[in-house]
Amino acid sequence: MTGAGGDRLLGICREQNTPGWLQQHGTRLPQQLRTLIDHEDTAVTIDEFEPTLVPGLVQTTDCTRALIRQADTIPEGEIEDRVAARLGRQSLFGRERIARFTFYVHEFALRLPVGGPEVMFEQSRHLLRKATRPYLTLRVVPASLGGHAAINGAFRLMEFAEFRPVIYLESETAGVFLEKREQVAAYRRILGLPAQTALSEEESTELTATLATELYAGREGYDDCP
């Protein structure tokens, strides 16, 4: 791995010589976010489970803004910086070397009206368009499955060509990177649950379109999806 991105990630790995580290969110663009961007930039596969929200890498501008605005921990003057930073991470999809993404999204995340009906309808359309890309797989976990180990919280597994895999967890105030083998193995097992039980890609897009239409039916201009 060469170049500035590889050097940054190598530096991160050397500095964090205690496997598993926590970086607190600061003001403006926190170091935690810069570290996450470095990881996303060099990962070859990213598998993410989201029980309550549409994953950040496939959010629309309005959905992102609504989520960030609702977070009491972020000052009003920093909201647009955070929105721009999250949307800027989506430039990964336009690069020549693109990681392979698999998003396991719980049905509840598609039903939660973040920002209101119009925002979520457009978010659903955006998600459906992204799901047609060859590098991205969308798998919806239906609510009918009930509770399971993965439902405890969102996480992502990032794997690299030259470095150990990393698990990333995020809360309102901090991001946690886990790299101990037993930690990664535990989350890999948990990820196997939605991988085995989620709807197929075709079924997932059908459910996403159906929910978008049913939840917002009757709103002028929002009757057909995608």
pLDDT, the chain, mean:
83
pLDDT at 217: 53
Question: Average pLDDT of 8-21?
Answer: 44
- Binning pLDDT at 50, 70 and 90, where does residue 95 land? confident
- Binning pLDDT at 50, 70 and 90, where does residue 38 land? confident
CATH 3.30.870.10 fits 31-215, yes or no: yes
**Read out DSSP for the chain?**
--HHHHHHHHHHHHH--SSSEEEE--SSS-HHHHHHHHHHHHEEEEEEEESSS--GGG--HHHHHHHHHT-TTS-GGGHHHHHHHHHHHGGGGGSSS--EEEEEEEHHHHHS-TT-HHHHHHHHHHHHHHTTSTTEEEEEE-GGG---GGGG--EEEEEESSS--EEEEE-SSEEEEE--HHHHHHHHHHHHHHHHHSPPHHHHHHHHHHHHHHHTTTSTT-SS--
pLDDT tens digit string along 181-212?
A: 999 999 999 999 999 999 999 999 999 999 99
- Binning pLDDT at 50, 70 and 90, where does residue 37 land? confident
Beta-bridged to residue 102, according to DSSP, are: 47, 137
pLDDT at 150: 73
What are the boundaries of each domain within the chain? 31-215
